[in-house]
Amino acid sequence: MIEVLHAGFYTSIQDFGRRGYQSYGVPVAGVMDKQAAILANSLLGNAPDVPVIEMTMTGATLKFEVNTFITVSGANMSPKLNERSMELNKIMKVNQGDVLSFGTLKSGFRSYVAVLGGIKSEVVMGSVSMYQAITKHEVLRKGDKIIANPSKLDFMEQNASVRVDLSYINSKNIHVFKGPEFDRLSEQQQYSLFSKDFTISKNHNRMGYQLQETLDNSLEPIITSLVMPGTVQLTPSGKLIILTRDCQTTGGYPRVLQLEEKSINILAQKFTGQSVKFQLLC
């Protein structure tokens, strides 16, 4: 068991989400930064989609009631094991009674804790990803107990850390494809999309990121159509909204761009006041 002593701002259990239920209005959900989650699991030899603990902006405090191994990847929230600083992307042995905590956010916005063998949680529609009205709770709370899967007894502790490229966490370049309604934009609108930086507004969460700057817009709404994580919608007021993992499955705003998968990971590590710049892929 792993006891949640402090839950942090928004901490949840996530895997790769739910597939095949969008026709029923069920969001995909899943880890916001898939690259960081895969890295954390891979270091331990877990399958890439094994459930992890996702933390947003501030970290949780977790007390381990089992002997196991863990890794922490993604945002640097100054992780500590028993009040001693620990490295990101390094296999760490934890013993019964050890406490994992976090401090100052130094880079990024979302951090991931993977446990050797994975963790168990309620499976709903093929996924454990926490989401309001789908799972019992949408976030972890103080006092919750997380069940850790049995670990390999012969797993060997590693002293070496893995050198990985984490430059994407601080990158502002968001690679996109043309959305279904892109060609309805004027040449000036298209130029504006790619010629300037856009600022992350205070309105952002697991459903979507609204950008601060506006785009002159005279497009008519569309018939409600398919949207997905990474879809960029243009509202009547000229606001751009980038949908993320917990987004709805349909929408009536023009879909002007679509983020590539890797760029969703970049966006997941951004917060209010930071900027992004769209770069068009062929």
Q: Which of 110, 121, 127 is nearest to 28 (CA)?
A: 127
The one-letter amino acid at 103: G
The values of phi and psi at residue 36, to 5°, are: -65, -40
Tell the burial category of 138 from Cβ atoms under 10 Å away from its Cβ (0-12, 13-18, 19+): middle
Structural domain ending residue among the three candidates 151, 167, 183: 167
| Residues 87 and 212 occupy one common structural domain | no
**145 and 194 share one domain:** no
Say how far apart CA 245 and CA 261 lie, in whole Å.
Answer: 11
> pLDDT grade, residue 182 (50/70/90)?
very high
Its domain, for residue 68, covers: 2-167
pLDDT value for 218: 85
Are 159 and 175 within one domain? no
Same domain for 84 and 176, yes or no, is: no
Q: Do 234 and 140 belong to one domain?
A: no
Domain boundary pick from 167, 196, 220: 167
Full DSSP string of 164-227: ---GGGG--EEEEEE-TTGGGS-HHHHHHHHHS-EEEEEEESSSEEEEEEE----PPPPPSEE-
Residues 18 and 97 in one domain: yes
What are 50-83's pLDDT values in tens digits? 999 999 999 999 999 999 999 999 999 999 999 9
Which of these three, 167, 184, 207, is where a domain ends?
167
Residue 154 has pLDDT above 70, yes or no: no
CB 82 within 8 A of CB 92: no
Q: Do both 54 and 127 map to the same domain?
A: yes
**Domain identity same for 181 and 205:** yes
**How far apart are alpha carbons 66 and 202 in whole angstroms?**
39
Examine the domain organization and report whether 52 and 188 are in the same domain: no
pLDDT of residue 158: 56
CA dihedral 161, 167, 169, 171 (to 10 degrees): 180
Model confidence, pTM = 0.93
At residue 11, φ and ψ (nearest 5 deg) are -115, 130
Question: How many beta carbons lie within 10 A of that of residue 106, not counting itself?
Answer: 10
Instruction: Compute the mean pLDDT over every residue in the chain, rounded to the nearest whole number.
Output: 93
pLDDT at 156 over 70: no
Same domain, yes or no: 118 and 188: no
Q: Is there a single domain that holds both residue 21 and residue 153?
A: yes
Q: Give the H/E segment covering residue 38.
A: helix 34-44
Residue with the two structure tokens 């947003």: 56
In which residue are the tokens 């739910």 written? 18
Instruction: Assess whether 87 and 218 both reside in one domain.
Output: no
* pLDDT tens-digit map of 199-253: 999 999 999 999 999 998 888 889 999 999 999 999 999 999 999 999 999 999 9
What's the CA gap between 265 and 282, in Å, rounded?
20
Give the CATH number of the domain where residue 185 resides: 2.40.100.10
Which strands make up the sheet holding 107-115, listed edge to edge?
10-14, 52-56, 107-115, 68-76, 92-94
Total number of domains constituting the chain = 2
Angle, alpha carbons 24-52-39 (nearest 5°) = 110
Looking up tokens 């100054």, which residue turns up?
78
